[in-house]
Amino acid sequence: MDYRRQYIKDLLTGSPGQAAEAYGWVKTRRDSKGVSFVQLSDGSCFKDLQVVIDAGSISDDLLKQATTGACVKFSGELVESPGEGQAVELKACSLEIYGAADPASYPMQKKGASFEFLREIGHLRVRGNTFGAVMRVRNRASYAVHNFFQSRGFNWIHTPIITASDCEGAGAMFAVSTLLEAEHGPDGAQFRLKDNNPENDFFGKPAFLTVSGQLNVETQAMGLTNCYTFGPTFRAENSHTPRHLAEFWMIEPEMAFCDIHGDMNLAEEFVHEVIRDILDNCGPDLEFFDQRIEKGLIQTLEHVASSEFERMTYTEAVKLLEASGENFEFPTAWGSDLQSEHERWLTESKVGRPVILTDYPKDIKAFYMYGNEDNKTVRAMDVLVPRIGELIGGSQREDRLDVLEAKIDEMGLPKEAYWWYLDLRKYGSAPHSGFGLGFERLIMYLTGMKNIRDVIPFSRSAGSADF
Ligand code: 4AD
Ligand code: MG
């Protein structure tokens, strides 16, 4: 067996008369008089291969083992398919069973199983239509992300997962420590704190899983000009929403010699190009999402890929929200953060496409954002999209040493911990900007999937870290 063989994707575009071997997992088997039909999938494309077995060409005892979920190889010849939906099918003359799947207990055979149930069998759900399609789109979107940046001369930076600095200053970090020891007793596991002095810990000081690679990628942009990170980030927020995970992937470009306008241009171009790539390369998967998950998805994506994003300030947005006459659960007032309901009203009801909001009040944004002259707002920019709300959060960075130091003091952050970040402003400071895009939110947007737990192979959120 070699990896250089034909996938089902290739067999489906093969020619009648061609000898073929098809490896995969049985989706269904239907036996009728004189002939059996098997739908076979190897995940290489949305469509299954139809395998036709004439009575007597494969022994009944063997064929009986090819039940839903079994892993098999069928060999035979491609023939023209009389049925609708496929040009060719495989007329099989031999079958090899690699792994049977007991029909009495195989959990993936229920048609129309709920996404909640499928989360409980996260190790098997990729064999179904929906999760196969999600993972193929996720894969292609990762590729499109790298393509976008690489074709524009950005350097991919591998920023650390373990860090001692809190980038967002929001305190929602997971500690990384070897001072906590798990003891397994008859009543299960228990934690014991060996020592509570961080100086005796593995790194000699408190360390955490990163919430963002931004501060590190900024250092690289101050020497390489255009950089980006694409990796996992972690937040210990106890938010049980369909848009938050405790472990999610983030894409963070950072550009020297770029202001907030250039930052917005990059964000818009980036979203346009990734959507275009998925439309061009994931057609059958998108058709499935359009029919079964989110009606009109393809049309919306086509529209968004070619339309300019609306740009307005936070202050303008608050005025619109106040004048909207809508009965929001959370009232809007200048100075408070926008809630998901406000973001959705702006993008869905008011504008009808993505909106970039800029110049937020400084008190609701992170310490590193460039302060405007009004001394009330910062050069922040959030990209909001229909259905999802915030897809991107970014800003022009504060590059003035004295202003940044004063801000860190004002917010009560530990200045010593940011000494290297401040050095960037001390030695050869440059105007620079960047943003962070939540990769899972992008996948939700591209697929129409409603829950962020269903666009990542194994989700981690408060109270749940299975598999
Ligand atoms: O707006 P955020 O917090 O921005 C930053 O972390 C900046 N340091 C980024 C930068 O400028 N380099 O997060 C960026 C994006 C959000 O817009 C959202 O899409 C996503 O990350 N995000 C989450 N996605 C899933 N689960 C969570 N808990 C998320 N928190 C943020
Ligand atoms: Mg944000």
259 C-beta closer than 6 A to ligand 1: no
Q: What's the mean per-residue pLDDT of the chain?
A: 96
Report how far residue 328's alpha carbon sits from residue 318's, in angstroms, rounded to the nearest whole number.
13
Give the neighbor-by-neighbor strand order of the sheet with 310-313: 155-156, 226-234, 247-256, 432-438, 389-396, 377-385, 355-361, 310-313
- The answer on pLDDT for 251 being more than 80 is yes
SS3 state of residue 130: helix
Q: What is the mean pLDDT of residues 155-166?
A: 94
The predicted-structure confidence for 85-111, as pLDDT tens digits, reads as follows 899 999 999 999 999 999 999 999 877
Burial class (CB in 10 A: 0-12, 13-18, 19+), 308: exposed
Query: Tokens for 307?
Result: 């339309």
Best residue among 218, 395, 421, 441 to mutate for probing ligand 1's pocket (most ligand atoms within 8 Å of CB) is: 441
Helix axes 129-150, 439-447, angle to 10 degrees: 120
Q: What is the mean pLDDT of residues 73-88?
A: 94
The half-sphere exposure of 356 on its side-chain side, counting CA atoms within 13 A, is 25
User: Any idea which ligand is nearest the CA of 438?
Assistant: 1
86 C-beta neighbours (distance < 10 Å), count: 13
pTM of the model: 0.97
In which element (H, E) is residue 207 found?
Answer: strand 207-209
pLDDT at 163: 95
Range 20-55 burial, b when 16+ CB lie within 10 A, else e:
bbbbbbbbebeeeeeebebbbbbbbbbbbbbbbbee
- The residue whose C-alpha atom lies closest to atom 25 belonging to ligand 1 is 244
The predicted-structure confidence for 357-401, as pLDDT tens digits, reads as follows 999 999 999 999 999 999 999 999 999 999 999 999 999 999 999
User: Any idea which ligand is nearest the CA of 172?
Assistant: 1
pLDDT at 4: 79
pLDDT-derived band of residue 190, with 50, 70 and 90 as boundaries?
Answer: very high
Report how far residue 463's alpha carbon sits from residue 467's, in angstroms, rounded to the nearest whole number.
13
Query: Tokens for 115?
Result: 């996404």
Q: What is the mean pLDDT of residues 148-156?
A: 98
391 C-beta closer than 6 A to ligand 1: yes
C-alpha distances (whole Å) from 182 to each of 175, 189, 194, 206, 348 are: 15, 6, 10, 19, 49
Backbone angles phi, psi at 235, to 5 degrees: -140, 125
- The residue whose C-alpha atom lies closest to atom 5 belonging to ligand 1 is 436
| Helix segments in 151-259, DSSP class H | 214-224
Query: Tokens for 27?
Result: 């989706």
pLDDT at 280: 98
The predicted-structure confidence for 338-359, as pLDDT tens digits, reads as follows 999 999 999 999 999 999 999 9
> Which CATH number applies to 129-161+211-454?
3.30.930.10
- The answer on pLDDT for 441 being more than 80 is yes
Higher pLDDT, 264 or 165: 264
pLDDT-derived band of residue 84, with 50, 70 and 90 as boundaries?
Answer: confident
Above pLDDT 70, what percent of the chain? 100
pLDDT at 327: 93
pLDDT at 169: 74
DSSP state of 108: G
pLDDT at 240: 86
| Helix segments in 367-427, DSSP class H | 401-410, 419-426
pLDDT-derived band of residue 112, with 50, 70 and 90 as boundaries?
Answer: confident
Task: Decide if 8-99 and 129-161+211-454 have a common fold.
Answer: no
- The answer on pLDDT for 2 being more than 80 is yes
pLDDT at 350: 96
> What's the CA-to-centroid distance between 439 and ligand 1, angstroms?
9
Q: Hey, where are the domains in the chain?
A: 8-99, 129-161+211-454, 174-210
8 A C-beta contact, residue 248 and residue 442: no
C-alpha distances (whole Å) from 249 to each of 49, 126, 383 are: 33, 19, 17
pLDDT-derived band of residue 238, with 50, 70 and 90 as boundaries?
Answer: confident
> What's the CA-to-centroid distance between 438 and ligand 1, angstroms?
6
Q: What is the mean pLDDT of residues 202-206?
A: 95
The predicted-structure confidence for 136-146, as pLDDT tens digits, reads as follows 999 999 999 99
> What's the CA-to-centroid distance between 382 and ligand 2, angstroms?
7
> What's the CA-to-centroid distance between 403 and ligand 1, angstroms?
24
Best residue among 165, 166, 212 to mutate for probing ligand 1's pocket (most ligand atoms within 8 Å of CB) is: 212
> What's the CA-to-centroid distance between 296 and ligand 2, angstroms?
28
For domain 8-99, give the fold: OB fold (Dihydrolipoamide Acetyltransferase, E2P) (2.40.50)
The predicted-structure confidence for 262-315, as pLDDT tens digits, reads as follows 999 999 999 999 999 999 999 999 999 999 999 999 999 999 999 999 999 999
> What's the CA-to-centroid distance between 358 and ligand 2, angstroms?
12
> What's the CA-to-centroid distance between 393 and ligand 2, angstroms?
5
201 C-beta closer than 6 A to ligand 1: no
167 C-beta closer than 6 A to ligand 1: yes
- The answer on pLDDT for 69 being more than 90 is yes
- The answer on pLDDT for 421 being more than 80 is yes
**Range with lowest mean pLDDT among 87-91, 124-128, 167-171, 369-373:** 167-171
- The residue whose C-alpha atom lies closest to atom 28 belonging to ligand 1 is 244
Query: Tokens for 140?
Result: 């292609």
